[in-house]
């Protein structure tokens, strides 16, 4: 299966701010996980997805009140039951942060189950993202 990118936009409102008057990292993490979940849910039913791990979020600059941020999310790697999403966040097309999230396909009892999905990386950029995702999950197979 080819990689597909989904776009989620969010406007930073006053309730999303930290004590410095910029986007609270916790709110961004919430939106980050949601964006990754949206990409994963296009491959398996949402009821069968659990978030296992967020692999880092490093902001390159503060995000001000009123900004509209865009979360670009793609499933870049799959294991037996894992789906690893890559999320990149931009503000007016400027890079703000990125990272990976590992989700797990589960059955009705919450036990991991194989999903049978294979993601094919076609471009050099996709291959590099897939290699990064594999390295994050190497010792967890």
Task: Output the domain CATH number for residue 75.
Answer: 3.10.129.10
**Mean of pLDDT values over 114-129:** 95
Q: Is the pLDDT of residue 141 over 70?
A: no
Evaluate whether residue 121 is within a structural domain.
yes
pLDDT reported for residue 138: 73
Q: Mean pLDDT of all residues in the chain?
A: 94
Tens digit of pLDDT for each residue in 60-94? 999 999 999 999 999 999 999 999 999 999 999 99
Inter-CA distances, 25 with 35, 61, 87, 96, Å: 15, 12, 15, 12
Residue 59 has pLDDT above 60, yes or no: yes
Structural domain containing residue 83: 6-136
Residue 58: predicted pLDDT:
85
Domain count, the chain: 1
CA atoms within 13 A on the CB side of 67: 22
Q: How confident is the model at residue 57 (pLDDT cuts 50, 70, 90)?
A: confident
Instruction: Determine the pLDDT at residue 140.
Output: 58
């Amino acid at each position: 299966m080819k990689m597909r990118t989904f776009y989620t936009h969010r406007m930073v409102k006053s309730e999303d701010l930290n004590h410095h008057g910029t986007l609270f990292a916790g709110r961004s993490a919430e939106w980050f996980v949601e964006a990754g979940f949206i990409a994963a849910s296009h491959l398996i039913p949402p009821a069968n997805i659990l978030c296992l791990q967020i692999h880092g979020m490093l902001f390159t600059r503060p995000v001000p009140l009123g900004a509209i941020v865009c979360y670009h999310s793609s499933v870049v790697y799959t294991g037996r039951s894992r789906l690893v999403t890559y999320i990149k966040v931009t503000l007016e097309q400027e890079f703000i942060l990125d990272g990976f999230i590992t989700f797990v396909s589960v059955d009705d009892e919450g036990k991991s189950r194989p999903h049978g999905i294979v993601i094919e990386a076609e471009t050099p950029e996709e291959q590099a993202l897939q290699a990064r995702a594999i390295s994050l999950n190497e010792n967890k197979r």
